Structure 1
């Protein structure tokens, strides 16, 4: 699969890959320009080109996204399974309203498992602008 600017016209194999249970990584960029890469669970809503990561509001990744301001932080999420891999790039913002958090928790539960209770939970919401991969 070549790079695409949106999730329009992605293959069924791509969509299935993002429904399968895979550990992912989230890459953010520190103020000094170095990458910060952490393991996460990611859900993808291909219809709205939105990827979501649930996290504690006190995590380093959340603080980095918030520090980027209202325009959002440039981030990438990636998953790999043998020769199959996919990276989604885009702009991330933090959502902490109860409706967004509950929605993200439901999506996480469908792909992974019921998330543990966390009263500090927020959602890193990524507007996907680029898709790369080999599927």
Structure 2
């Protein structure tokens, strides 16, 4: 699963400060839609593979976020928002859930590299892969949310 980012989003990801921010060990909010259409927001740790355009979140297959993504089918859109003070980056895209051993291994390795510890390993571990197609953030040096790319 790969995605082609729009030019505005690619611009943010070529910024060294944004790339570094996405590798620092922060927590993010993960937003999905419940079957009734209401938002479900939960804190997660994630990784972002700039080259592949993929964000990855490991979780239990039975977790609400995984069930929401699975219920959304191929049109399941999610948003991840990592914030630290006034600095923030939101990654949006289509998500899928998989228990493929190779994809799980890659997700666990990248998580361990980013957070310096392995993620929890429940027996029903899955990875949610998000094909990022939009990146929102404040351009460096601009304090106003009105200046973000959309």
The TM-score normalised by the length of structure 1 is: 0.91
Higher relative contact order, structure no. (Cα contacts within 8 Å, ≥ 6 residues apart): 1
Bigger radius of gyration among the two: 2
In structure 2, C-alpha distance between the alignment counterparts of 1:128 and 1:18, rounded to whole Å: 13
If each structure's helix is expressed as a fraction of its own residues, which one has the higher value? 2
In structure 1, C-alpha distance between the alignment counterparts of 2:97 and 2:120, rounded to whole Å: 19
Cα displacement (A) at 1:115: 1.7
Q: Which of 7, 10, 20 is the aligned partner of 1:8?
A: 10
The TM-score normalised by the length of structure 2 is: 0.82
Which residues of 2 match residues 1-135 of structure 1 at below 5 A? 5=6, 7-9=9-11, 10=13, 11-69=15-73, 71-112=74-115, 113-134=117-138, 135=140
1:42-68 CA-to-partner distances (Å, cap 9, x unmatched) read: 100011110000000110111111111
In structure 2, C-alpha distance between the alignment counterparts of 1:72 and 1:95, rounded to whole Å: 15
Cα displacement (A) at 1:32: 2.0
Residue-pair matches, total:
131
Cα displacement (A) at 1:73: 0.7
1:88-117 CA-to-partner distances (Å, cap 9, x unmatched) read: 000000011111111100011011121233
Q: Superposition RMSD on alpha carbons, in Å?
A: 1.4
1:11-49 CA-to-partner distances (Å, cap 9, x unmatched) read: 111100000010111000112221100010010001111
In structure 1, C-alpha distance between the alignment counterparts of 2:106 and 2:68, rounded to whole Å: 22
